[in-house]
Structure 1
Amino acid sequence: MALKRMDNVGIVVEDLEAAIDFFCELGLELEGRATIEGDWAGRVTGLGDQHVEIAMMRTPDGHSRLELSRFLAPPVVSDHRNAPVNALGYLRAMFTVDDIDETLERLRARGAQLVGEVVRYKDAYRLCYIRGPERLLIGLAQELG
């Protein structure tokens, strides 16, 4: 059997509302929200009794999703938000945008900070990393030509 698709990428946050607002500003759409709890959930994650608020964000093309989670129980055990991009196991999400400068301007109003600088890769892309809500590392790419 072959792989069918990647369903979503999950990111754990403290402030779910701020994360939803930020990713909506980036251009993702809120697909739905739910509270996840119960025996079945704990068996899937191995965390036992858990209580989690989630928000599923969908890209405009409908092909990709970002699952934002806020754990109420058990408590968060580790924090990787300040890790550099070369840290083992570190997660960053990359999004393709129409206009990187306009996107940066809008996201800076929501607290985003440019990590390095906007760079050009050959004649293919303009790229940058930003720190978004809760210092999450997010990549932006603008296709050229």
Structure 2
Amino acid sequence: MFRYVHTNIIAKDASKLISFYKDVFHCKSINEARNLRGGWVDRLTGLHQVHITGEHLLLPGYGEDHPTLEIFSYDTLKEAVPAEINRPGLAHLAFEVDDVEETLMKVISKGGSRVGELITAEYPNGLEAVFVYAKDPEGNIVELQSWRQRKEAASK
């Protein structure tokens, strides 16, 4: 069996970031909080005397237990590398939302920020999409998107 299970974010403050993703993106607690330490965690991570805390949050729009957004924090953190949209590696998380502008305002009101401009792009078959990149309170990039029929296509 193969299936996508989760994406992990390492947070400076896991509880604050967990609250942000619950409030803004409707992620849900599914009773999968973690308080991990011990030899097996040290061997898994390659770190010594590691302690990891956090929670798995159910992503909106899918099953009742997966996929999840895993938000963890380590007692000892490395210096963060600023998130850039064109940096190699995991670039961003994307959420389809009802209203991009409204969700962006909520991101900002909860401690996040906008990255670039909010744009509307035309796609084939009379579709258009509204996009914007934002950052969560810890600087992780999140894409907000909304899809709809173009007004002129819908009136034909």
2:88 is the counterpart of 1:88:
yes
Q: What SS does structure 2 have at the residue aligned with 1:14?
A: coil
Q: Runs of 5+ in structure 1 lacking a partner?
A: none
Over the aligned positions, Cα root-mean-square deviation in angstroms equals: 1.7
Q: TM-score scaled by structure 1?
A: 0.86
Q: Report the more deviating stretch, 115-124 or 12-21.
A: 115-124
Displacement after TM superposition at 1:90 (Å): 4.2
- Aligned mates of 2:102, 2:11 — CA distance in 1: 26
Number of residue pairs aligned between Structure 1 and Structure 2: 140
Q: What SS does structure 2 have at the residue aligned with 1:135?
A: coil
2:135 is the counterpart of 1:131:
yes
> Identity rate of aligned residues, in percent?
25
Of structures 1 and 2, the larger Rg is shown by 2
- Aligned mates of 2:111, 2:29 — CA distance in 1: 20
Q: Runs of 5+ in structure 2 lacking a partner?
A: 150-156
AA aligned to 1:27 is H
- Which of 61, 67, 72 does residue 69 from structure 1 map onto? 72
Q: Would the alpha carbon gap of residues 13 and 99 (structure 1) be closer, same or farther in structure 2, given more than 3 Å must change? A: same
AA aligned to 1:6 is Y
Q: What SS does structure 2 have at the residue aligned with 1:9?
A: strand
Q: TM-score scaled by structure 2?
A: 0.81
| Contact map agreement 1:12 1:68 (CA 8 A) in 2 | yes
